[in-house]
Structure 1
Amino acid sequence: MSRQTIHTDLAPAAVGTYSQAVKVGNTVYISGQLGLDPKTMELKDGFDAQAKQAFANLKAICEAAGGSLNDVVKFNVSLTDLNDFAALNTVFEANLTAPYPARAAVQVAAIPKGGVVEIEAIMFVE
C-alpha cells in the first residue's frame, strides 16, 4: 500500500515534526489544525475565529488530498475550555451537512502556540 504526504500552501506549514496529512490507500489522516492563518502563521483572536480558521485549514488540506470536508468520517477536537462546546457545534454546523461524521471533543490543559482549539480529521476518498 502506498503512503503519500499531503501538503498545501493554503494551510499552515507544520510547526513540528509532522506532515499536514498522510494518505494511505483511500484514507487520509489530517494532523490537528489550529486557528493559524497560513500566510502569517499567527493565531486568530478568540475561539470563534480560531475554530473557523481551523476549518478553513482542514478544508484546504482535504481538497489537496482529493476530497472535501464532506468526506471526513471522524473529527477529534481538543478545547482548552469545554464551555466553548456550543460555539464549536455552531462552527461544525456551518461547515458540514448531515449526516454528520463521528466526533470526539475533549478539554485539554494546553494547545500548541497558545491556541484554544485544535481539530484533526480522518477522511476517506475514493
Structure 2
Amino acid sequence: MKRTNYSSGAPLEEIAGYSRMVKVGNHVYIGGTTAVQPDGSVCGETPNEQARFIFEKFTDLLRQAGAQVKDVIKVKAYITDMGFAKEVADAYSQIFKPVRPLFTMIETPKLNRPAQKVEIEIEAVIGCEIS
C-alpha cells in the first residue's frame, strides 16, 4: 500500500518528525488538531467555536487526501472540561450526524495553550458506504 504524509507547515512537525495527516491506501488519519491559526492565535473563545473551526479544517484536509466527510469512521475529542461536551457535540453534529461515526470525548487537564479548550483527531476510510 502507498503511504502519503501531509504537512500543515507547522514548524513543530519538522522538528519533532510528525505529519498532520497520513494516508495509507484508502485509510486517512488526521492527528490531534486544535483551533490554532497560522499566526499562532487560537480561533474562537468557546469550545463550540473551536470545534467548528477544527471540523472545517478537517473537511479541507480530507479533500486533499481524496476523502469526504461521509468516509469518516472515528472522531476522538480531548476537552479540558467535560462541561464542554454538549458544545463540542453540537459542532460535531452539524457535520457528522448523518454519517454517525464513532465519537469519543475525553477530558484532559490542559492543552498546549491556555486558550485551547478542545483538540480533535479523526480516522476515515475512503469509499465507505453508509448502510
TM-score by length of 2: 0.83
Secondary structure of the 2:84 match is helix
Q: What is the Cα-based RMSD across aligned positions, in Å?
A: 1.8
2:63 is aligned to: 63
Task: Give the letter aligned to residue 82 of structure 2.
Answer: L
1:13 is aligned to: 10
Q: CA shift at 1:2, angstroms?
A: 1.6
- 2:102 is equivalent to residue 82 of structure 1: no
2:122 is aligned to: 121
Radius of gyration: which is bigger?
2
1:102 is aligned to: 102
Secondary structure of the 2:48 match is helix
- Unpaired runs of at least 5, structure 1: none
| Maintained 8 Å contact 1:36/1:53 | no
- 2:41 is equivalent to residue 42 of structure 1: yes
Task: Give the letter aligned to residue 121 of structure 2.
Answer: E
- Unpaired runs of at least 5, structure 2: none
CA distance in 2, matches of 1:42, 1:66: 29
Q: CA shift at 1:34, angstroms?
A: 0.4
Secondary structure of the 1:22 match is strand
Task: Give the letter aligned to residue 117 of structure 2.
Answer: V
TM-score by length of 1: 0.86
